[in-house]
Amino acid sequence: MRIKKISLHNYRNYSQLSLDLSHNLNIFLGENAQGKTNIIEAIYYAAIGSSHRTSNDNELICWEKESAKIYLCFERMSVENELEFNFPVGKRREISYNGHKIKPKELIGTINVVLFSPEDLYLIKGAPAARRKFLDTEISQANPSYYSLLSQYNRVIAQRNVLLKKIKENQAKNDLLELWNQQLSELATKIVKQRIYSLKKLNMLANLMHRRISTNKENLEIGYIFNGEENFLPSDLNTWYNNKLAEVQAIDIRRGFTSVGPHRDDIILKVNGINLRSFGSQGQQRTGVLALKLAELEFIKSETGEYPVLLLDDVMSELDVNRRNQLLLFIRERIQTFITATDRSYFPKENVGKYYKVSAGSVME
């Protein structure tokens, strides 16, 4: 998979931008706040259907402009495709795939990307929500039906939470929860099974990457935390969820939200058997995150048949020389990559790709 061309119109600080792209490394150099990350964001948006920086599409539109546009021409399995997004101010966005309008849920899996940003360096020691999002995004790109499953699950959770609050306020009866409990249990079972399946493969790939980066000194292990417990998974998930939801029903009603389900689970990373979040050094945690990202590339390739596009947003300055070299060695001539950086010295003296100078919304090769 590779992106051949990107065009932006009234997007962020770009009134007009059109770039023909290298199939290898595309490196965008410039000072901060010049528009480098806006290009990364546009590609990520085209793949995921949302920005990693804002939940408000109106923020993507140039100041005092009536609309914005993202256009990508890309190849998937050697077939050329076009993807276009239109953002009218105050209106719902429009998405077109090869000239035909599509719904947002049809977008996932069209273009696969892996984003690595400075915030990801806190993935291991951050909140569980970030790790769940990492896992869910990865699985969704490899298996779009999983994304649909998650969407259904989130709707059930939202509706069950509304009912819980009504019951607490004596506006609804407890027995109405049974229907939502059954739906939640069925969907939760499918989600957890898919997560466990994917995590087994990711665990193997991440350990291989981690051993390479640490020169065979450390082993990385990824485990699943189910309902707050490690190394615990019921043999009959559906029955377990139904029983557990009944058990905590009074607590859920009092609190007004659902306390059981995959939206509360987590993953744990260990190096040589030691919890990386609690006891790992900063260097070990960064090596762990880098190994996760490289494993994510291999996982998506194993599931789809092609490497995804890699987006590296200002992470070169956060990695030491060894980790930078390991990263570049892995991706060169293999994976189309978009990199933003402030300093040319982060890269080898010989040209490793196509360089662009970014300044105040202007890009020059």
Q: Read off the tokens for 252.
A: 């859920």
Whether residue 244 is predicted with pLDDT greater than 90 in this model: the reply is yes
Domain residue spans in the chain? 1-112+306-365, 125-304
Q: State the pairing for strand pair 67-76/2-11.
A: antiparallel
Determine if residue 33 is labeled as part of a ligand binding site: yes
pLDDT band at 355 (very low <50, low <70, confident <90, very high): very high
Identical fold, 1-112+306-365 and 125-304: no
Is there a binding annotation on residue 34? yes
pLDDT digits (tens, 9 = 90+) for 328-341: 888 988 999 999 99
Residue 307 is predicted with a pLDDT of: 96
User: Is 31 labeled as ligand-binding?
Assistant: yes
On whether 203 is known to bind a ligand per the annotation, the reply is no
pLDDT in tens, 29-84: 999 999 999 999 999 999 999 999 999 999 999 999 999 999 999 999 999 999 99
- What is the percent of the chain where pLDDT is above 70? 100
Please state, for a pLDDT cut of 90, what percent of the chain lies above it: 88
Q: Domain 125-304: give its CATH code.
A: 1.20.1050.90
Distance CA 333, CA 92 (A): 39
pLDDT at 350 (0 to 100): 78
Look at residue 121 and tell me whether its pLDDT is greater than 90. Answer: no
Is 287 annotated to bind a ligand? Reply is no
Closest Cα partner for 224 from 254, 256, 257, 201? 201
1-112+306-365 homologous superfamily = P-loop containing nucleotide triphosphate hydrolases (3.40.50.300)
Q: How far apart are CA 309 and CA 182, in angstroms?
A: 39
Ligand-binding annotation for 32, yes or no, is: yes
- Contact between 23 and 350 under an 8 Å Cβ cutoff? The reply is no
Residue 333's pLDDT is what? 83
Q: What is the mean pLDDT of residues 6-18?
A: 97
Mean pLDDT of the chain: 94
Is residue 37 part of an annotated ligand binding site?
Answer: yes
Angle among Cα 269, 271, 272 to the nearest 5 degrees reads 135
Rounded to two decimals, the pTM is: 0.92
35 annotated to a ligand binding site: yes
